[in-house]
Chains A and B, each alone.
Chain A
Amino acid sequence: MVWFKKTRYATITPKDRKDVPSGLWIKCEACNELLYKREWKRNLKVCPKCNYHYKMTARERIDSILDEGSFVKSDFTLKPIDFLKFKDTKTYEERLIEAQKKTELFDAVVTGEGKLLGHPVVLGVMDFAFMGGSMGSVVGEEITRAIEMAIEKRYPLIIISSSGGARMQEGVISLMQMAKTSQAVARLNEEGLLYISVLTNPTTGGVTASFAFLGDIIIAEAHALIGFAGPRVIEQTIRQKLPNGFQRAEFMLEHGLIDMVVNRIELRKRIGEILNFFAK
């Protein structure tokens, strides 16, 4: 992995993560099947028995989607700041430091360029482990710069989303990232460039209501939760339990809101096919 050595964030060896139990075997969160960890990893963190898709880190995602060694991270480094001095049970600054330690990222997104089955692309990947993949100034700015880079290089753009929505700790500035990223997509459209949006579990709130739903092609990973309002908010509003499968990828497909539902193991190939079509 060449890109691995290029950047600061990738030079640190991955440690055990909370959601990844140590040891050789793990128990599937969804079906309780005992899984051999190495095999599960080779299967891109999808349970071979029940097809449950575990969340991936941005790094794992990039490795799984791009040609080996082709990723070059964007050459700028953006860091979030607690400009509102937001304090709930902890300060925003404390939450940022925690998230940065946990994920070894500065914020909830990684962008750069690389090759996918030979096609040069600009790629943006969100990481849910960083404060629920929430979009504040840094995420909004990085996504916008990725879109602008796609315009400049005239490459197709791929954004893989995973987010709980706008980041509350940056107030209305977070909300404005929706406008900022969406207007950049509008420019990309004017330039006649391709944008493939991949929605992964979960994609909700301000990300759903901006760039994630503005792709020319919208792909969702199997069974991913996708929606504007989170299920808990809806349940509280309507005071009833939500039907099974509500807001899942398959539900979105049935309601005409996305183009296709794809299993993770097929994702790279499917995107490659789409890139092939538009490259001709």
Chain B
Amino acid sequence: MPIGSSRGVRLLDNDYFDFEQPIIELEKRIEELSKFTSGKKIDIQEEIKRLETKIKRLKKEIYTNLTPWQRVKIARHPKRPGIMDYISRIFTNFIELHGDRTFSDDRAIVAGLAEFDSNSVVIIGHQKGKDAKENIACNFGMPHPEGYRKALRVMNLAEKFGKPILTFIDTPGAYPGIAAEERGQGEAIARNLLRLSRLKVPIIAILIGEGGSGGALAIGVGDKIIMLENAIYSVISPEGCAAILWKSNEKVEESANNLSLTAKDLLELEIIDDIIPEPLGGAHRDYDGMAQRLKKGIQTHLEEIRNVPIDELISNRYKKYRRMGRYIEE
């Protein structure tokens, strides 16, 4: 199988979070009860049913009241579906394109051509990888400048042929390393912001997991910005912010609370246009269900912008970002 693809997941014990423990305990009890009774003539269907209703209620209670830090954990879940999981479920005839034509092929960025319903679209996104080997190949989804330049090359290609662009954002951030600095990480990101803002095709940016600062924004400027319910988008990681402002690694929760990084916060701040609800417990609990919901979301938003005259689209895009900012004017 190519990097990043996966046929859905089986969650193991350590794939659960501490705040999910009450659910896990009930689920285990049901399992034990069913095992105990299988083959025997004891009917405990009543009891199981009771427990199941209890779980349902508990899940709803827990998952609808997640704290920002809990959402950060879900957004970073090692089994959270990544770009390749959505490509295989939502698109057909994916053709991956490689390289920035200058330096190398950065696997932290995936780019390619695909069919969506009956439209042909161009896809660009971050890729973290699914296991240790893939994580290393993809640098945990942290691109170098050549990754952003690969994205830029493919954006230009999309514009040349008038194909809409869909971007999938899922990165801790642009890689902070020696080589990345030597090759102009800042310039690479800045160039993409400039280019995306004027690109003559419809652009939808989708935050599927972690939206880590400039490294996320570099493929995140568009006409529609949509976000999965448990995805996060932040100017700095809660850890980074805690280290700088609190000078303490223990203040990550407080830091996450302050940064306004959840989908709900960002919809209120008018940074994003829509939230795609996740299956109960998070996208990693149900890959197909998540993909279905996302597909519907993309359909709706693409329909809204697909036929807007291009000058109007770009002028609206300019206004969208022009409005962002809160200050007092005298």
A interface footprint on B312-330 (CB within 8 Å = 1, 0 otherwise): 0000011001101111111
A177 to B217, CA, bound (A): 11
| Cβ-defined contact, A237 with B176, below 8 A | yes
Determine whether B187 belongs to the interface, using a CB cutoff of 8 Å to chain A: yes
| Cβ-defined contact, B176 with A257, below 8 A | no
Q: For chain A, which range describes its interface: under 10, 10 to 19, 20 to 34, or 35 or more residues?
A: 35 or more
For B329, list chain A residues within 8 Å (CB).
Answer: 76-79
| Cβ-defined contact, B258 with A87, below 8 A | yes
- Give the nearest-CB partner of A234 in chain B: B176
A213 shortest CB reach to chain B, Å: 4
Determine whether A144 belongs to the interface, using a CB cutoff of 8 Å to chain B: yes
A172 to B261, CA, bound (A): 7
For A84, list chain B residues within 8 Å (CB).
Answer: 258, 260
Q: Which segment of B48-56, B58-66, B78-86, B177-185 sits at the interface?
A: B177-185
B interface footprint on A237-261 (CB within 8 Å = 1, 0 otherwise): 1100011001100000001110000
For A228, list chain B residues within 8 Å (CB).
Answer: 174, 176, 180-181, 185-186, 189, 214
Given contacts A178-B217, A246-B178, contact A229 B185 (CB under 8 A): yes
Determine whether B137 belongs to the interface, using a CB cutoff of 8 Å to chain A: no
Determine whether A83 belongs to the interface, using a CB cutoff of 8 Å to chain B: yes
For A111, list chain B residues within 8 Å (CB).
Answer: none
Q: Which segment of A31-39, A116-124, A204-212, A264-272 sits at the interface?
A: A204-212
Given contacts A88-B245, A176-B271, A247-B181, contact A83 B197 (CB under 8 A): no
Determine whether A279 belongs to the interface, using a CB cutoff of 8 Å to chain B: no
Q: With a 10 A CB-CB cut-off, give which of B180, B234, B325 has the most chain A CB atoms.
A: B325
Determine whether B191 belongs to the interface, using a CB cutoff of 8 Å to chain A: yes
| Cβ-defined contact, B214 with A209, below 8 A | yes
| Cβ-defined contact, A171 with B180, below 8 A | no
Determine whether B310 belongs to the interface, using a CB cutoff of 8 Å to chain A: no
Determine whether B157 belongs to the interface, using a CB cutoff of 8 Å to chain A: no
Q: Which segment of B4-12, B235-243, B300-308 sits at the interface?
A: B235-243
Determine whether A99 belongs to the interface, using a CB cutoff of 8 Å to chain B: no
Residue of B180, B246, B328 touching A229 (CB-CB under 8 A)? B180
| Cβ-defined contact, A168 with B178, below 8 A | no
Determine whether B166 belongs to the interface, using a CB cutoff of 8 Å to chain A: no
A22 to B219, CA, bound (A): 49
* Interface size in chain B (residues, C-beta < 8 A): 57
For A205, list chain B residues within 8 Å (CB).
Answer: 214
| Cβ-defined contact, B261 with A171, below 8 A | yes
| Cβ-defined contact, B177 with A237, below 8 A | yes
B255 shortest CB reach to chain A, Å: 8
- Give the nearest-CB partner of B324 in chain A: A176
Residue of A171, A176, A212, A256 touching B259 (CB-CB under 8 A)? A171
Determine whether A63 belongs to the interface, using a CB cutoff of 8 Å to chain B: no
Given contacts A227-B181, A228-B214, contact A141 B194 (CB under 8 A): no
| Cβ-defined contact, B177 with A166, below 8 A | no
| Cβ-defined contact, A173 with B326, below 8 A | yes
A77 to B328, CA, bound (A): 8
| Cβ-defined contact, A214 with B181, below 8 A | no
| Cβ-defined contact, B326 with A81, below 8 A | yes
Given contacts A173-B269, A176-B271, A185-B194, contact A213 B186 (CB under 8 A): yes
Determine whether B266 belongs to the interface, using a CB cutoff of 8 Å to chain A: yes
Q: With a 10 A CB-CB cut-off, give which of A84, A175, A208 has the most chain B CB atoms.
A: A175
Determine whether A43 belongs to the interface, using a CB cutoff of 8 Å to chain B: no
A110 to B137, CA, bound (A): 45
Residue of A83, A166, A242 touching B235 (CB-CB under 8 A)? A166
Determine whether B120 belongs to the interface, using a CB cutoff of 8 Å to chain A: no
Given contacts A183-B318, A246-B178, contact A210 B190 (CB under 8 A): yes
Chain A residues with a Cβ under 8 A of chain B: 76-81, 83-84, 86-89, 137-138, 140-141, 144, 166-168, 170-180, 182-183, 185-187, 189-190, 205-206, 208-214, 227-229, 233-234, 237-238, 242-243, 246-247, 255-257
Chain B residues with a Cβ under 8 A of chain A: 174-178, 180-187, 189-191, 193-195, 197-198, 213-214, 217-218, 221, 233-236, 240-241, 244-246, 251, 254-255, 258-261, 265-266, 269, 271, 317-318, 321-322, 324-330
Q: Name 18 extra pairs, CB < 8 A, besides A206-B213, A256-B184.
A: A80-B328, A81-B328, A84-B258, A171-B259, A172-B260, A172-B266, A175-B235, A176-B271, A182-B194, A186-B194, A186-B198, A209-B193, A211-B190, A214-B194, A228-B189, A229-B174, A234-B181, A257-B187
> Which are the 8 A-B pairs with shortest beta-carbon distances?
A229-B176, A183-B197, A208-B186, A137-B325, A182-B193, A88-B245, A228-B185, A228-B186
25 pairs from A and B in contact (CB 8 Å cutoff): A76-B330, A77-B329, A78-B327, A78-B330, A79-B328, A80-B328, A86-B258, A138-B325, A167-B235, A168-B235, A171-B259, A179-B324, A183-B318, A183-B322, A186-B194, A186-B197, A206-B214, A209-B189, A212-B190, A213-B191, A214-B191, A228-B185, A234-B181, A242-B178, A256-B184
